[in-house]
Structure 1
Amino acid sequence: MSHLLPRKALSGLDERLDNFRVVVVGGPRQAGKTTLLRLLHQGRGGTFNTLDDPTTLSTVRADPTGFAEFGALPRIIDEVQRGGDDLLLAVKRLVDLDDTAGQFVLSGSTRFLTVPTLSESLAGRAVFVDLWPLSAAERAQADIDAPTLLFDPASLRATPLAASWSRTDYFNLIATGGYPEAVRFDSDRFRADWFDGYVSTVVLRDVAAFADIRRADLIPRLLRLIAARTGSGLVLADLARSLELSHNTVRDYLGYLDIVYLTANLPTWSTNLTAKLVKTPKSYVTDSGLAAALLGADPGPLAEPGHPLAGPLTETFVFAELTRQLATSATRAELSFLRDREGREVDFVLERRDGTVVGIEVKASATVRDDAFKHLRWMKERVGDRFRAGYVLYLGDQIRPFGLDLTALPLASLWGGMPA
């Protein structure tokens, strides 16, 4: 694997900069934002600054307007949230005076629209680009747009895997995750050490910058609880009881984890399918490697049949892969899940803006039986013509039809089966 893998977000970032005054690149720390912005700077010129540099940050705090006005366009500012409201207001004033495209690229390791200490959102002036850790498709350098293909089952069925993936291969990929720094480690122990340090850094630096965390030591425990409960709705009372904290404190901490991109909520599918749908969202750790490290799950034991964490971590991986590919996909689709009070559930639902939907179930097994499709069939009956396809993603190596619009699909099909 090359030291620097191409990122699919770069071309989209370049295009948006040609059309918008401000482009904001958001994503978790260490996902590759700084590298992406340096590549953009190399290609387009302009001015690059990072507020992780103490001298630069001091300059911003002393004269935010002067800093925002300085340098050739585009003015690229990394970790912009550290400059606070004064810097964002200065950027706003400048782009309000001039509607020329390509003035600013701002990046942040927080969702600064929701950071409690920032009031300025640049609403109506900026377009947002998410940069997540590497997808499996990026690690494999596969030229594939899986969300688009999922809505084209005939083409997907006709696309053979480029290589055969074993169960061991899958769990090596799942337990490694996509953070570029973590991917480079050959040692499971060193990777776990890196993740421990990563969580501590994000909590003590990024979260502490905008929130009063009195029990920072409980954040890793909260993350572990979320990782272990993947696939089930989070019950605030259970989390509060486990951590011996108040409901309000747990709710705040969950919000902080979402702001720094360590977790993300998956909403229930909005539909009039039935009045008996469960409305509680699911929450995921946004990287399967981080989730595996939090749970102490190494790839070797995970690959053994019957491991209790194999299912949750595989589902976490699929959530992360779909989220990452949707960020660069030509298909505009929303990701959600479907569950009713009678226990019927479809792990993931993709809905395009034209109302067509795809249902996805996830199985951490090398084989698929017909009963794995029962909830997809139930969904298809009720959705009717809007239903485009249903898939069971599994850890095998054969694409197999299970009736009209229903397919057992190897997980590696999401990246063309290319070695990662």
Structure 2
Amino acid sequence: MTYQRSQVSLLQSRLAEVPRFIHIVAGPRQVGKTTLVRQAIDGLAHKFVSVDPAGDAPDLRFAYLLEDTLEIEGAPRDSAWLIRTWKAARAQCLDAQQRQPGQPFVFVLDEIQKIPRWSDTVKGLWDADRAKGLVMHVVLLGSSPLLIQKGLTESLAGRYELMHATHWSWPEMHHAFDFTLDEFIYFGGYPGAAPFIHDEKRWRNYVLGSLVQPSIEKDILQMTRVDKPALLRQLFELGAAHSGQLLALGKVKGQLQDAGNETTLAGYLSLLGQAGLLVGLHKYHVGLARRRASPPKFNVLNAALISTALPYTFAQAKADRSHWGRLVESAVGAHLCNSALPREAVSYWRESPHEVDFVIHDAVRLTAIEVKSTATTGQLGGLDAFCKHHRHAKPLLVGATGIQLTEFLSYPLGHWLEAA
């Protein structure tokens, strides 16, 4: 039986309602967005169209869900194409509902961000459907940064519900692929790469060639203006190799060729984060300006990205306690970032000689987290110092003698704000 993520049932429940909003399913490359939607519409009347038919090969297990699109083969994927395709979906919806009144009909557009000014066109078509009372659900798939940057918050404001498809978590990789905890910490949460973990060279080539490179070349460089693409690539490579470490952007410039100013680097780091690759965590401080002025702490958003950035094999990584500790900390950081809700944030804290690995917070709650991959004794100076500075903060030790990693990685960030 094919594994189903929790978002499948969530989308199914929304499709059982009267259409009120456009359903947006967005997330990093190859986390299963298309498969998720295909599973959710299985058994429903639908039309599924990919904006990029020459892109990634479809999952043959779901080939029966792909509708005939021969009438539009070869046509440029522009607004005119989108209007023709939408009209065809309307006709199919009306026909299906004449045959089976009351049955939901779903129109799915995959890779929607590849249509220029797509959001303006979708807005007009969607509003026309609402005016006519057409009972047709619309599901759009695409990459998070591109969808947001290309008009979600402007043209489609108030017309959509956003569903994030994040990197796969430890419980998902364990249940779907029988990953051990150590395998998840090293190989991360890419479902497409899971079959290759026992051939590490093949696994590494797959992650770099099929995931990292397309994420940068297609999901960022082809859709966003980047004046120095080589610099963006170097920044990712440097940041992934230093995941779990603080690096001031001023110092980073010295390690990069043709480096721009710090504002340029910060902008590129933001793009990498939106693509689901790498983030730069800010230091926790009550004042927002002070947070942004601090050096970022790099953290990959999928543990596979640090493992492919460094030459350690799985066995070598486990044997090196210091390196393994970095992998564990990066996996925890990735989990926190991936599971955070919009009003929840992840930071770090450091006041020499004390530091805290992660600080999670929302408008009222604050939790300091220290990650230990091996047993620890005595006082936890960083946690103690932070809680003295912030009296309402709750301390949390993860790993070693604290909360076990398997438990911590099984719950989203919000749970640990409540439970700490």
TM-score (norm 1): 0.75
What letter is aligned with 2:311? G
**Residue 24 and residue 259 in structure 1: after superposition, are their counterparts in 2 closer, same or farther (change >3 A)?**
same
Secondary structure at 2:175's aligned position in 1? Answer: coil
Report which structure shows greater RCO (CA 8 Å, sep ≥6): 1
Shift of 1:300: 0.7
Q: Distance in 2 between matches of 1:5 and 1:67?
A: 31
- Indicate the larger mover: 21-30 or 314-323: 314-323
How much has 1:60 moved relative to structure 2? 3.7
1:74 and 2:106 are equivalent in the alignment: yes
Separation (CA, whole Å) in 2 of partners of 1:361 and 1:82 = 42
Q: 1:102 to 1:265 in 2, by over 3 A?
A: farther
1:237-263 Cα offsets, whole Å, 9 max, x none, are 333322222324544533432342222
**TM-aligned CA deviation for residue 208 of structure 1:** 3.0
Cα offset, 1:116, TM superposition: 7.0
Q: 1:415 to 1:252 in 2, by over 3 A?
A: closer
C-alpha deviation, 1:31, in angstroms: 0.9
- Is residue 175 of structure 1 aligned with residue 209 of structure 2? no
Change (3 A) 1:415 1:203: closer
Deviation at 1:36, TM superposition (A): 0.6
The equivalent residue for 1:152 is: none
Length-normalised TM-score, structure 2: 0.75
* Among candidates 5, 11, 14, match of residue 13 of structure 1: 11
The whole-number CA distance in structure 2 between the counterparts of 1:119 and 1:358 is: 31
Identify the match of residue 391 of structure 1 among 391, 396, 401: 396
Cα drift, residue 80 of structure 1? 0.9
Structure 1 residue 325: Cα displacement: 3.7
Alignment map for 1:139-178 (pairs within 5 Å) = 139-141=173-175, 170-178=181-189
Q: In the alignment, which residue of structure 2 is the partner of 1:320?
A: 334
1:105-144 aligned at under 5 Å gives the runs 105-113=139-147, 115=149, 122-141=156-175
Alignment of 1:205 with 2:199, yes or no, is no
CA offsets per residue over residues 40-86 of structure 1, 9 Å max, x none? 2215443211122146683642432232343134321111101121x
Shift of 1:113: 4.7
Query: How many percent of aligned residue pairs carry the same amino acid?
Result: 25
For 2:336, what is the secondary structure of its paired residue? helix
Equivalent in the alignment of 2:57: none
Instruction: Name the residue aligned to 1:370.
Output: 378
Whether contact under 8 Å (2:300, 2:306) holds in the other structure is yes
Give the 3-state SS of the residue equivalent to 1:104 in structure 2. Answer: strand
Supply the distance in 1 between the matched residues of 2:11 and 2:152 (Cα, whole angstroms). 24
User: What SS is found at the alignment partner of 1:184?
Assistant: helix
Asked if residue 283 in structure 1 is aligned to residue 298 in structure 2, the reply is yes
Q: Does 1:380 align with 2:387?
A: yes
Deviations 1:89-109 (A, max 9, x none): 121113334287973211112
From 78, 83, 95, the counterpart of 2:126:
95
Q: Pick from 178, 202, 222 the counterpart of residue 190 of structure 1.
A: 202
Q: Deviations over 1:19-42 (max 9, x none)?
A: 751121111111111111111221
Report the number of matched residues. 368
Cα distance change, pair 204–346 in 1 and its aligned pair in 2 (3 A): same
TM-aligned CA deviation for residue 313 of structure 1: 2.1
User: Cα distance 1:133–1:184, how it changes in 2: closer, same or farther (>3 A)?
Assistant: farther
Whether 1:58 aligns to 2:75 is yes
Asked if the contact 1:74–1:103 (Cα under 8 Å) also holds between the matched residues in 2, the reply is yes
Aligned residue for 1:292, secondary structure, equals helix
Secondary structure of the 1:53 match is coil
Q: How many Å separate the matches in 2 of 1:124 and 1:177?
A: 35
* Contact 1:9-1:131 within 8 A present in 2 as well: yes
With over 3 angstroms needed to count, the CA separation of the structure-2 counterparts of 1:220 and 1:277, relative to structure 1, is closer
Return the offset for 1:223.
1.7
In structure 2, what is the Cα distance between the partners aligned to 1:9 and 1:51? 23
Partner SS, residue 409 of structure 1: coil
RMSD value, Cα: 3.5
CA deviation after TM superposition for structure 1 residue 188, in Å: 1.2
Aligned mates of 1:121, 1:299 — CA distance in 2: 47
